[in-house]
């Protein structure tokens, strides 16, 4: 029996997303029949001691402190970028130009200009057979994949309204410490880009439609937070100094959609890290002429489906437990009724990425898709800054200097 070819992977970053991606690379080849075997070769981070600790915990072969080492290493086939947004463009473009396949966490970049440069590099690389993908992992939640199939089958009819909310509460304590996610230079934006990007991507993914115009507002509730002490670990201790929060804490916007199943629909979007009591509630509702679907990530194995064509006396939302082998991805996991978790989406992401690489196909979402989401985020920020009733998500983007 011929052994599957190997794909040697280097991952940049070792924090929250680094742990999740490591889980994906480690588990996917053990549950899915992949045409190439991912090898967890190298993990990269600036702090030598911490990245070496992450190497041991997550199961990588070696650690490095300079990402350029893996970009220049001819044995590396894939570069997985899990570092803050400010580093995405430089690393991704260098890796693609070096003929490495690239998986990059969302949002694609911190600015439209950076995202445009990344999409251009991806297009050049694709002509040489080099693949790239944005890590919108929630596309790979089986309930979301099943919902998309229902939309494509026409079960909702014409979609008229969309509601998409991403609600978290981890910033509600005003004395919680500063992190890089609250620094615009590192993160690009706050709730809007960090979690709002997921809501935008999922709505477009589910409906096949695109946000065309938006009208939004953003706000920062707490403008200063304690800085962490120099010897802080993951739990940390705050110093007496305070740092300035330079991103939004919450964002709200309405949108008009074009194309796909939601042609002409209106949408309402919210992204906040101040929704007290909501831990990780990504809520999507699509309302159509023939039915509706509702999903909440806090009940990620469930999908609510309403069939408006049922007799009036039988109508109501039906709760589907998405654990059947007929549901997307589920045949490779546990028996019917046994739930899966947040980390499984990253195994599915790895599976789909490796499948695309080995098939010579362009994976989704592409860097072009990531660029479009970046343009939506930019349009919301421009609308909020100018008070514009409607701001266009321009086809060629509103270039923002990096």
User: Is 249 in a helix, a strand, or coil?
Assistant: coil
Q: What percent of the chain has pLDDT over 90?
A: 93
Strand partners, 63: 43
* pLDDT beyond 90 at 95: yes
How far apart are the C-alpha atoms of 160 and 210, rounded to whole Å? 14
How far apart are the C-alpha atoms of 136 and 202, rounded to whole Å? 8
How far apart are the C-alpha atoms of 89 and 108, rounded to whole Å? 8
Return the structure tokens found at 270: 């919210």
Q: What share of the chain is helix, strand, coil (3-state, %, to 5)?
A: 35, 25, 40
How far apart are the C-alpha atoms of 75 and 132, rounded to whole Å? 18
Contact criterion met (CB below 8 Å) for 255 and 210: no
How many Cα atoms are found within 13 Å in the side-chain-facing hemisphere of 322?
Answer: 26
Give pLDDT tens digits for 259-271: 999 999 999 999 9
Contact criterion met (CB below 8 Å) for 39 and 102: no
Give pLDDT tens digits for 135-176: 999 999 999 999 999 999 999 999 999 999 999 999 999 999
**Whether the domain at 6-137 and the domain at 142-299+301-340 fall into the same CATH topology:** no
* Structural element, H or E, at residue 119: helix 112-126
What's the whole-number mean pLDDT along residues 108-118?
Answer: 97
- Residue indicated by tokens 């690379």: 25
How many Cα atoms are found within 13 Å in the side-chain-facing hemisphere of 361?
Answer: 9
* pLDDT beyond 60 at 395: no
Cα angle 263, 119, 391; round to 5: 40
pTM for the whole structure: 0.94
Write down the pLDDT at residue 323. Answer: 98
Q: What is the mean pLDDT of the chain?
A: 94
Closest to 70 measured CA to CA, from 101, 47, 49: 101
DSSP labels, 290-337: SEEEEEEGGGTTEEEEEETTS-GGG-S-EEEE--STTSTTGGGSPSTT
Closest to 273 measured CA to CA, from 162, 187, 215, 379: 187
* pLDDT beyond 80 at 249: yes
* pLDDT beyond 80 at 105: yes
Question: 6-137: which CATH architecture?
Answer: 3-Layer(aba) Sandwich (3.40)
Write down the pLDDT at residue 401. Answer: 35
Q: What percent of the chain has pLDDT over 70?
A: 95
- What residue spans define the domains of the chain? 6-137, 142-299+301-340
Write down the pLDDT at residue 394. Answer: 80
Class of domain 142-299+301-340: alpha beta
**Positive or negative CA dihedral for 363, 257, 213, 197?**
negative
């Amino acid at each position: 029996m011929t052994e599957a070819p190997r794909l040697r992977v280097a991952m940049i970053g070792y924090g929250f997303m680094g742990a999740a991606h490591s889980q994906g690379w480690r588990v996917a080849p053990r549950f899915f029949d992949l045409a190439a075997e991912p090898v967890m070769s190298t993990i990269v981070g600036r702090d030598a001691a911490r990245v070496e600790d992450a190497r041991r915990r997550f199961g990588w072969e070696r650690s490095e402190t300079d990402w350029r080492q893996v970009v220049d290493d001819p044995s590396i086939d894939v570069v997985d970028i899990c570092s803050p947004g400010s580093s995405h463009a430089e690393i991704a473009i260098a890796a693609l130009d070096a003929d490495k396949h690239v998986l990059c966490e969302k949002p694609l970049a911190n600015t439209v200009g950076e995202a445009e440069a990344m999409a251009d590099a991806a297009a050049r690389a694709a002509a040489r057979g080099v693949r790239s993908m944005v890590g919108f992992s929630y596309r790979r939640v089986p309930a979301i994949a099943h919902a998309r199939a229902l939309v494509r089958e026409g079960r909702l009819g014409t979609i008229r309204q969309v509601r998409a909310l991403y609600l978290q509460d981890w910033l509600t304590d005003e004395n919680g410490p500063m992190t890089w996610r609250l620094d615009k230079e590192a993160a690009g934006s706050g709730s809007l880009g960090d979690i709002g990007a997921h809501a935008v991507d999922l709505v477009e993914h589910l409906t096949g439609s695109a946000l065309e115009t938006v009208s939004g507002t953003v706000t920062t509730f707490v403008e200063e937070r304690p800085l962490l002490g120099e010897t802080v670990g993951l739990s940390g201790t705050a110093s007496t100094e305070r740092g300035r929060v330079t991103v939004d804490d919450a964002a709200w916007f309405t949108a008009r959609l074009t194309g796909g199943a939601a042609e002409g629909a209106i949408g309402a979007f919210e992204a906040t890290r101040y929704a007290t009591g909501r831990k990780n509630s990504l809520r999507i509702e699509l309302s159509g002429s023939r039915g509706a679907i509702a999903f909440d990530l806090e009940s990620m194995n469930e999908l609510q489906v309403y069939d408006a064509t049922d007799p009036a006396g039988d109508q109501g939302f039906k709760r589907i437990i998405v654990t059947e082998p007929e549901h997307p991805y589920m045949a490779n996991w546990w028996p019917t009724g046994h739930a899966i978790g947040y980390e499984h989406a990253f195994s599915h992401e790895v599976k789909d990425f490796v499948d695309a690489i080995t098939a010579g196909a362009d994976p989704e979402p592409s860097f072009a898709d990531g660029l479009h989401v970046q343009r939506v985020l930019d349009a919301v920020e421009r609308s909020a800054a100018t008070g514009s009733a409607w701001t266009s998500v321009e086809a060629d983007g509103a270039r923002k200097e990096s």
